[in-house]
Structure 1
Amino acid sequence: MVTASSVQLTVLRGRTEERAAIRRLLGDLPTGGGALLLQGEPGSGRSALVDYAHRHAEGCAVLAGTGLPEEADLPYAGLQRLLDPVLDRAPALPEHQRRVLLRAVAGAGCPAHRRLALSLAVLGLLAAAARETPLLCTMDDVDRGDQPTADVLAFVARRLHRSRVAVLLTTVADVPLGGIARHRLRPLDDRDSAALLTDRLGGRPPAPPVAAALGAAAGGNPQALLDLAGVLTPGQCRGEEPVPETPPPDGRLGRAYRARVERLPADTRRVLLLAALDEDGEPATLVRAARAAGTAVEALAPAELAGLVRVEPRRVTFPQPLVRTVVRAAAPLAERRAAHLLLVGVLDGTRHRLRRAGHLAAAAPGPDPALAAELEQAAAEYARGGAVAAAALHRAAELSDDPVRAAARLVAAARYAWSAGRAHRARLLLGELPPAAEVAVAGRAEEAAVAGRADLLRGELELRTGRPGLALTTLLSAADTLSAADRECTGTGGADGDRALALGALVRAGEAVCFAGDQYRYAEVARRAELLRRPDDPPATELLSAYVAGTAATLRGDHEQAGPALRRAVVLGGQLTGAASTPAALTCAAAAGLLVAVDGAAHRLAERAVELARERGEVSALPRALELRAAAEYWLGRHDAATDSSREGLRIARDTGQENWAGVHLGMLAVLAAVRADRDTALHRIREIGEDAGAHSRPRALAQWALAVLDLVDNRPAAAAARLAGLACPGTGRGQVLVLVMATPYLVEAAAAVADRPVAGAALAVFDRWASSTASPSRRALSARCHGLLAPRGSAEAEREFRTALRLHPTDADAFERARTELLLGRELRRSRRPRAAREHLHAAREAFTLLGAASWAEQATTELRAAGESVGPPEESAARLLTGQQLRIAQLVAEGATNREIAARMFLSTRTVDHHLRNIFHRLNIRSRTELARALS
């Protein structure tokens, strides 16, 4: 027994609640004892928390023990080790208790009818040891040692309220120890995972994408994170090389799991290996395989009790993915091969074609071209694609005897991995490609096509997750290689496959140009795309050509030429069906729709792209599709929906390592928060963008737009105008021209307030040329409002332009912009000494802002009303203020008598989404019917 002393504390990340519980347990010792149970998987920090308790047990004596699997069959072995330092206090116990205690710890066991006496003896012994000094008694991994010790300690832990003894127990399994306060150790969140990695790396934080990838690989397990950090190379730490996808099997956590696996019965290990090799996890397959192996699936029970595997009605899973890797690594090669062949025998060759081929491939001793071809065909037919198809094609490449076919299969595997959102896996697979000189020439065209597809994927990965500048170079090179392969294959470019891929590479190159703010380079992209155009192109290929041509024309201000091309792209997008209807094609059509201001069509196309990407498992396509959906929702005035879309896009972008598109969504979230005058949220999102975004990048431009809106809210128009004017130079094509066009109404408002007519006039001229080329009443309304702001104050021209804007604003959408126009017209009339006329518009603005929950803008309208001679208090509290903007719009339509289906059609939502919102509306307003809702809003 030792007395604890104060030592330098070690930081424990993500265990705030548990540390507080331990401190409370120790703090209560002077007046009474207690107990605490910590339950968590291996590596979750149980032992670290026990050490934490020891360090904080100042002025306490400490008894410490650990459950040992080697002694699990020795009754009371753990109790003997724990109590040995205080057994000299045994004479103080009643005679019958002392005898039963000494007999048990001496290895003579304890009869069933004496167990109560033994438990009371242990309780009395600990109480006697604590009379002079409070006592902390800890048993780490109590469930791994002998069960009789666990039973006695649980009995004692429930009866400590009258003693100065604290008991701290930890378990791996969720054991039934009732009556004891329990804490389950949850996985670390992203922030704590990154902090732990920084601690492990000596205070040098890893690059954000690296921290995100390692956190995902570790599943929030602290020891897994430490093991991963321990094998990182400098290049991996900086994000220049792909990081490991799973913790190392020979790391501390892997060794711990391996030791637990090796202690399982032979039949359990045999069935566990079958479960580890069959990643589909279908219980029926495992039942048949276990029977074929001469055992039964029930043999898994010890592994289940140990927390290594979980058997559910529809799936067999490994709670910690590392266990699957460890089980495979622990089995000899011959056993693994036999298990694969056994699984082949129980799988149906038609229903389970890919799984069966995969097991055959795993058992193959060397190259097997026929099996490689079977794997490739089965992967192409696999409905869910993704990581499973990537693994199959990777193995097909290994089994190939033709270097060109092997390379083609590796590239296809990498494409599947990227589609599933596994960017690092895709990079690893591309890294396995041999140099071109080592690829046997099986025809120059095929070789070039493989190289072009590899560069296309590398460029896309750089665009989404890396350096947009390098992405542009790589994508242009890919387009050249693919178009050359197409020409060489046909002599005249007749085959569409490689040419369509070349056009896709140019679309991505255009995205890289726009993301980096180098729009002047889009002309070169368009020139190359024009060379690939054919009069008989299929719709999907024609869509890409039209989109690039229309975007290039838009960027150079030639809207007469841009309009027809972009509208053609929108029409083609709506007509795509079957295999031609892909998330990539639909996002192009949606982007085209935004450029010609057909917001409803753009939203439908983006929504379809999102749904299709989810249906097909193309996770990597979601951030871009959600970006376009959010932009359409912004223009439709559905700011709450846009915020939801951007939040989802941000989450998926981070999950898939797409830091560049995470920045885009952060910028959009900042703008949406600033428009609502939510300063704290806007600034938080801007800080999250960080300093790594390029000076002219889209995330940085969106951040500047958000800051400018906040400047306007705080009555700093000069600062707002300066920020927005610096977004782009339309004459040179440098900077974020498209972001500047979106932000022009705010720039004109700011510049007009400081009488900077040249800046406002130049920006408005660009906006006008675009707005007049569209059929969008909302864009023309904004244009008219801007002209009203720039007209001489008090002039008939100013009032005419404002009233034109009010007439053009759609009545069933974009209530926020209409309210802004009402506010600006009311202010214009008040300053022109027409307060009575101003009040009508200021009241309308104040009411609309109040209903939308835009409190800061409502306060501006209130201030203007007071200046117009109206005595008004703060906006009235109403039922509508309890709702979000989207909920309010749905509630208003319900009050007007619209059905859920009609609301869904008008708001571009699914009927299910409307039902969900309506339930939330009823709950918030504490009402039960549509009639009550109409009354509440009246």
Structure 2
Amino acid sequence: MINASTVQIDVLRGRQVECREIRRLLAAPAGRALLLHGEPGSGRSTLLAYAHRHGRERRVLAAAGLPDEATLPYAGLQRLLDPVLDGAGALPERQRQVLRRAMAGEGCRDQDLLVLSHAVLGLLAEAAHDGPLLCTMDDLDAGDAPTARLLTLVARRLPHLPVVLLLVTGGDSGADAIPRHRLEPLDAPDSHALLAARCPGPPPPGPVLAGLSALAAGNPQALVDLADSLTPGQWQGAEPLPAAVPADGDLGRAYRALLCRLPGDTRHALLLAALAATAPTHPSRTDHAHVVDPVTLGRALRTVGGTVDTLAPAEAAGLVRLTAAGGAAFPRPLARAMVEATASLAVRRDAHLLLAAALQGTGARLRRALHLAAATDGPAPALATELADAAGDRADRSVAATALARAAELSDDPVLAASRLISAARYAWQAGEPDRARALLHHVADAPSGPTAVLPDGRDNATGASPQEMSSVPAGQGAGGDVVGDRGTAAIRGLTELLRGEMRLRCGPVPAALPTLLAAASTLADVDRESALVALVRAGEAVCYCGDQYRYAEVARRMAALRHDADPPWAELLTTLVAGVAATLRGEHAHGGPLLRRAVVLGGRLTGAAATPTALTGAAVAGLLVAVDATAYRLADRAVERALDRGEVSLLPRALELRAMSEYWLGRHEAATSSCREGLRVARATGQHTSVGAHLGLLAVLAAVRSDRDTSLGHVAELGDAAVPGSRPHALAQWALALLDLAEARYADAADRLAALARPGTGRGQVLVQVMATPHLVEAAAHDGRHARARGALAVFDRWAGSTASPLRRALSARCHALLAPRGSTEAEQHFRAALSLHPTDAATFERARTELLFGRELRRARRPREARDHLHRARQTFILLGAQAWARQSTVELRAAGESVGPPDPHAVRLLTGQQLRIAHLVAAGATNREVARQMFLSTRTIDHHLRNIYHRLGIRSRTELARALG
């Protein structure tokens, strides 16, 4: 049963840990055993082939459990030992008799089982005289139970023999005393690499790899089966991907063989459980288990005269897990899918009808309708309407998408079918399933000919929310997404393009999203004005993400043309937001500020169903732009909660990004990092590649603020192709790198990076990111002596900060002016003291500590060490409390330079140096030239030369290399 084909060898791509374990097993001088277990298709047989290839120095005895021989005691053992049975003559008579009866099919009495195990050990020992042995048994659980039991006894008694025993099974039960290793699903990189290796043409796009990997759930054989079934168009993303792993592939055959070994009533009960199972809907769930309602399952099983205990054999086979409440769960989503896929159409239809009957009168309207629909062929308008209506009652967007897609199939009106497909795609997208949404959009045929009617301003009857908001169902729909009136070709085309544009905005390519969204807004303007508003908001996001700020004026012009005085609050919020952002990007803060503050107020007033994630994130954006950080945080946090409550997973990454940015300005760096990590996880799980880039960029900035160089550079490296020049991720990455440059005294590099984030006067680049980073740009340029560059950037920052009521922004402005004032001047001191008086005492304590550090450094260099020490002590204490160790160390160095001994003792040689000498020594040991040290410490090169000679003399060294060694 060993198949070492090229396909299987490829599976080893993600099995490095297992391969190392097998090599250690084969290299061990004493006898050892190992049990590998995993689901079908996980690469168990391939690992056996790997063991055979790497065990050439050992004599190999190999066999596999065969289902046809499962009722024949010791059939598997006989095939394993057949090559060495001629050595049985050397065994004691008692052992020889018991072994002979077992090999002849006569079985073995329980009291003779230990004797039989010693006989097998003796036979292996005799065979090992010619060299060490490797014994392998594939599919141990598929063969006869006596062989499996005996081999576990033998495996525990191998240490004194030169024998390696490698057992492979599908389940993890039994053999508790044997070392075991579970074959986990492949991770995303290994899955992608395996798929790319199977692609017959150019490398497939990232979304194709991600979609196939999600379908396969990390199962190597599922990946191979999917790859072998794809058309060239599917490989390149031009056609929808399959909805499931092929049932006629090798994996399907393996599951059929596994299911055939189960009793008939167990197979039937397992199919009922698979069809009744529901996937986890909460995005924080990471176990992916599909659970079965115990009441529904119990009713269905009682109808056919069974109980939940009927599933016990399936649980022993690792297919299902019984719960304490009397239900069941499928810990492997792929197992549930294959149980359903391998059943015949007629058997599935009967099971669906049985489940529909079990749900009668339970109030589970949608679930019952879905089972009826699965058992129905051909158009069924009444059932389609029931499905669509029931879908509006669901917060589970994925289930609603399934219902509306099936309703479209059962509809006899092509316009109605197209509308339901669009709604299904919208729900699938909201559920975090972009590939499924694309496939549904692909099936929306060209809009049927017919009159184009103006859609009524309606509301979603199920939620009471404005249906035109794209966090809800499209405009003009009833509770389940049905068309109210004649939408016409324009509405169908516009809503399709709107969804396609939004997915391009979140998943890429973003440059293609802008024309799609603008076209959608134009198409919808006359038939669904409020959906057109949302399209323009998304278009504005695309402009800002790409850095083409000059194009925002067009978005604002179109939005102004659509504005109505009688708009509901959420619509007024969107139009006001776009107008305020446009004015801010033009630098017209006196005009933009009041508009943005109005948007914040409107967002705070939204309640109930009107407080959608879309509206709340818009208000949070406005709050950040007018620097009301605490309010922006509350709005973003509400957006996160609403997205979770409504099951709108696709909106979570953006809401978490805004929450993290608010937390950054509030000085809650650890909380911001946590928000980003959660946003990154959800973005990756839902295929939102552009959101992944934004969160990685923010994480890089947050790590760089703490001077965590390795972590920050790691996040920048992860960005890869997402860091397109001019884009938001690229700007955030440059900001992070500039912060690292600043911490390591590469001031010119830091200033150059930050100055290049945007090009004033052209409307290109990340203007908003550059404004946020201006305090660091000014600090770097001031240290580098390029005050003119710093003043230009500071003027932009001052105009914005002055338009806000934020004490923090004005404190940062004052700090920047202090850095640009003549060193040691009264002007510099006044600005520093103004900054400290403006810094909030209850928030952004990190920035206050940074100001204390810079002011203390200024006072020390002005030969006022006693005053400097007060500020430096406060800065150091704050940094220690915040866990900002790198900045705490800088404060310690400055304190020592100010004449105070602080912190743990230095190595014995270093204690010979003064504080100032110690700082010079550290900079020189880090590779800085004398000129660079002089510039950083505001001293002359001659003074640095003098100090360096004294350092060499005190430490008894002669070179920079010896200095680095002395400092450790």
Choose which of 337, 348, 351 in structure 2 pairs with 1:336. 348
User: For 1:42, what is the secondary structure of its paired residue?
Assistant: coil
- Quick one: distance in 2 between partners of 1:479 and 1:131? 82
For residues 668-693 of structure 1, what are the alpha-carbon distances to aligned partners after superposition, in whole Å with 9 as ceiling and x for unaligned?
00111111111111111001111343
Q: Is 1:593–2:623 an aligned residue pair?
A: yes
Tell me the equivalent position of 2:75: 77
- Quick one: distance in 2 between partners of 1:762 and 1:504? 36
Tell me the equivalent position of 2:288: none
Tell me the equivalent position of 1:47: 45
Task: Summarize the Cα distance change of 1:241–1:745 in structure 2 as closer, same or farther, 3 Å threshold.
Answer: farther
Residue pair 2:811, 2:835 contacting (<8 A) in 1 also: yes
Q: Is 1:805–2:816 an aligned residue pair?
A: no
What is the one-letter code of the residue matched to 2:365?
R
User: For 2:104, what is the secondary structure of its paired residue?
Assistant: helix
Tell me the equivalent position of 2:745: 715
For residues 284-320 of structure 1, what are the alpha-carbon distances to aligned partners after superposition, in whole Å with 9 as ceiling and x for unaligned?
2122112223444433232222222222245433333
Q: What pairs up with 1:775-794 in 2 under 5 angstroms?
A: 775-794=805-824
For residues 843-873 of structure 1, what are the alpha-carbon distances to aligned partners after superposition, in whole Å with 9 as ceiling and x for unaligned?
3223322332222222333333344344445
Tell me the equivalent position of 1:307: 318
Tell me the equivalent position of 2:440: 429
Tell me the equivalent position of 2:304: 293
Task: Summarize the Cα distance change of 1:438–1:106 in structure 2 as closer, same or farther, 3 Å threshold.
Answer: farther
Choose which of 91, 96, 105 in structure 2 pairs with 1:107. 105
Q: Is 1:480–2:510 an aligned residue pair?
A: no
Residue pair 2:452, 2:487 contacting (<8 A) in 1 also: no
User: For 2:130, what is the secondary structure of its paired residue?
Assistant: coil
Task: Summarize the Cα distance change of 1:850–1:875 in structure 2 as closer, same or farther, 3 Å threshold.
Answer: farther
- Structure 1 residue 242: Cα displacement: 4.6
- Quick one: distance in 2 between partners of 1:274 and 1:439? 44
Q: Is 1:470–2:512 an aligned residue pair?
A: yes
Which has the larger displacement, 786-795 or 437-446? 437-446
- Structure 1 residue 37: Cα displacement: 1.3
Tell me the equivalent position of 1:355: 367
Residue pair 2:87, 2:123 contacting (<8 A) in 1 also: yes
Residue pair 1:197, 1:205 contacting (<8 A) in 2 also: no
For residues 27-85 of structure 1, what are the alpha-carbon distances to aligned partners after superposition, in whole Å with 9 as ceiling and x for unaligned?
224xx312111121112222222222212223211100101111101111111111111
Task: Summarize the Cα distance change of 1:26–1:204 in structure 2 as closer, same or farther, 3 Å threshold.
Answer: farther
Residue pair 1:476, 1:505 contacting (<8 A) in 2 also: yes
Residue pair 2:547, 2:727 contacting (<8 A) in 1 also: yes
Tell me the equivalent position of 1:847: 877
User: For 1:303, what is the secondary structure of its paired residue?
Assistant: helix
User: For 1:691, what is the secondary structure of its paired residue?
Assistant: helix
What is the one-letter code of the residue matched to 1:649?
G
- Structure 1 residue 568: Cα displacement: 1.3
Task: Summarize the Cα distance change of 1:110–1:855 in structure 2 as closer, same or farther, 3 Å threshold.
Answer: closer
Which has the larger displacement, 357-366 or 180-189? 180-189
For residues 250-284 of structure 1, what are the alpha-carbon distances to aligned partners after superposition, in whole Å with 9 as ceiling and x for unaligned?
22212210222234333222222222222342122
Tell me the equivalent position of 1:64: 62
- Structure 1 residue 370: Cα displacement: 1.3
Tell me the equivalent position of 1:134: 132
Tell me the percent identity.
Answer: 65
- Structure 1 residue 162: Cα displacement: 2.0
TM-score, normalised via structure 2 length: 0.85
Which has the larger displacement, 524-533 or 105-114? 105-114
Residue pair 2:451, 2:486 contacting (<8 A) in 1 also: no
User: For 1:167, what is the secondary structure of its paired residue?
Assistant: strand
User: For 2:721, what is the secondary structure of its paired residue?
Assistant: coil
Choose which of 405, 417, 425 in structure 2 pairs with 1:414. 425
Residue pair 2:22, 2:51 contacting (<8 A) in 1 also: yes
RMSD: 2.4
For residues 696-746 of structure 1, what are the alpha-carbon distances to aligned partners after superposition, in whole Å with 9 as ceiling and x for unaligned?
000000000111111111111111111111101232221000000100001
Task: Summarize the Cα distance change of 1:202–1:673 in structure 2 as closer, same or farther, 3 Å threshold.
Answer: farther
For residues 533-564 of structure 1, what are the alpha-carbon distances to aligned partners after superposition, in whole Å with 9 as ceiling and x for unaligned?
11111111111111111111111111111112
- Quick one: distance in 1 between partners of 2:828 and 2:580? 34
Q: Is 1:390–2:401 an aligned residue pair?
A: yes
Residue pair 1:403, 1:439 contacting (<8 A) in 2 also: no
What is the one-letter code of the residue matched to 1:398?
E
Task: Summarize the Cα distance change of 1:776–1:80 in structure 2 as closer, same or farther, 3 Å threshold.
Answer: same
- Quick one: distance in 1 between partners of 2:656 and 2:827? 41
- Structure 1 residue 240: Cα displacement: 5.6
Residue pair 1:394, 1:410 contacting (<8 A) in 2 also: yes
For residues 503-561 of structure 1, what are the alpha-carbon distances to aligned partners after superposition, in whole Å with 9 as ceiling and x for unaligned?
11111000000000001111111111111111111111111111111111111111111
Choose which of 325, 329, 351 in structure 1 pairs with 2:337. 325
Residue pair 1:293, 1:342 contacting (<8 A) in 2 also: no
Task: Summarize the Cα distance change of 1:124–1:270 in structure 2 as closer, same or farther, 3 Å threshold.
Answer: same
What is the one-letter code of the residue matched to 2:23?
R
Which has the larger displacement, 187-196 or 561-570? 187-196
Task: Summarize the Cα distance change of 1:237–1:791 in structure 2 as closer, same or farther, 3 Å threshold.
Answer: farther
Choose which of 366, 370, 378 in structure 2 pairs with 1:366. 378
What is the one-letter code of the residue matched to 1:778?
L
Unpaired runs of 5+ residues, structure 2, are 279-291, 454-484, 907-968
- Structure 1 residue 238: Cα displacement: 4.9
Task: Summarize the Cα distance change of 1:9–1:457 in structure 2 as closer, same or farther, 3 Å threshold.
Answer: closer
Which has the larger displacement, 623-632 or 814-823? 814-823
Q: What pairs up with 1:616-655 in 2 under 5 angstroms?
A: 616-655=646-685
Tell me the equivalent position of 2:918: none
Tell me the equivalent position of 2:89: 91
Which has the larger displacement, 161-170 or 306-315? 306-315
Q: Is 1:378–2:390 an aligned residue pair?
A: yes
Q: Is 1:499–2:497 an aligned residue pair?
A: no
Choose which of 566, 571, 574 in structure 1 pairs with 2:601. 571
Tell me the equivalent position of 1:218: 216
What is the one-letter code of the residue matched to 1:367?
P
Residue pair 1:249, 1:322 contacting (<8 A) in 2 also: no
Task: Summarize the Cα distance change of 1:692–1:602 in structure 2 as closer, same or farther, 3 Å threshold.
Answer: closer
What is the one-letter code of the residue matched to 2:597?
R
For residues 625-645 of structure 1, what are the alpha-carbon distances to aligned partners after superposition, in whole Å with 9 as ceiling and x for unaligned?
000000000000111111111
Which has the larger displacement, 702-711 or 691-700? 691-700
Which has the larger displacement, 473-482 or 275-284? 275-284
Residue pair 1:283, 1:313 contacting (<8 A) in 2 also: no
Residue pair 2:240, 2:442 contacting (<8 A) in 1 also: no
Unpaired runs of 5+ residues, structure 1, are 486-497, 877-938
Residue pair 2:452, 2:490 contacting (<8 A) in 1 also: no
Tell me the equivalent position of 1:882: none
- Structure 1 residue 149: Cα displacement: 1.0
TM-score, normalised via structure 1 length: 0.88
Choose which of 660, 677, 687 in structure 1 pairs with 2:690. 660
What is the one-letter code of the residue matched to 1:27?
A
Q: Is 1:271–2:269 an aligned residue pair?
A: yes
Task: Summarize the Cα distance change of 1:625–1:827 in structure 2 as closer, same or farther, 3 Å threshold.
Answer: same
Residue pair 2:11, 2:220 contacting (<8 A) in 1 also: no
Tell me the equivalent position of 1:183: 181
- Quick one: distance in 2 between partners of 1:367 and 1:664? 45
Q: How many residues align?
A: 857
Residue pair 1:291, 1:297 contacting (<8 A) in 2 also: no
Residue pair 1:136, 1:167 contacting (<8 A) in 2 also: yes
What is the one-letter code of the residue matched to 1:603?
Y
What is the one-letter code of the residue matched to 1:807?
S
Residue pair 2:61, 2:135 contacting (<8 A) in 1 also: yes
Residue pair 1:544, 1:569 contacting (<8 A) in 2 also: yes
For residues 325-358 of structure 1, what are the alpha-carbon distances to aligned partners after superposition, in whole Å with 9 as ceiling and x for unaligned?
3333333333322222222211134611001111
- Quick one: distance in 1 between partners of 2:341 and 2:745? 66
Residue pair 1:572, 1:589 contacting (<8 A) in 2 also: yes
What is the one-letter code of the residue matched to 2:412?
D
